[in-house]
Amino acid sequence: MSVEEAAVPKLATNSVVATNNRSFALTIFLNAFLLFQVQLIVGKQLLPWFGGTPAVWNTCLVFFQLLLGGYAYGIG
């Protein structure tokens, strides 16, 4: 190996980049899944507080669906 070759740093291979992309995607989807678990807890706590109408539950659903849309936009 010449001195010129030793001075050039090696770039990441495609397999390393693909592994990092998979781990990032897995982390984001796991985070989204956990967020939807929180949706059920928050919805159950807010329903009696705001009178238990279906509009409260629908508002919770819309809010968390918008968060999921933000995750999808962030990945894409």
> Could you tell me the residue range of the domain that residue 71 belongs to?
3-75
| Residue 47, pLDDT score | 82
| Residue 70, pLDDT score | 83
Given the structure tokens 């990945």, which residue do they identify?
Answer: 75
- Using 70 as the pLDDT threshold, list the residues of the chain that sit under it: 1-18, 76
Tokens read off for 54: 């279906």
How many whole angstroms separate alpha carbon 41 and alpha carbon 64? 12
CB 20 within 8 A of CB 41: no
What's the gap between Cα 40 and its chain centre?
A: 18
Residue 45's identity, in one-letter code, is Q
| Residue 2, pLDDT score | 58
Considering its fold, how many domains does the chain have in total?
A: 1
pTM: 0.46
| Residue 75, pLDDT score | 74
Helix, strand, or coil here: 76? Answer: coil
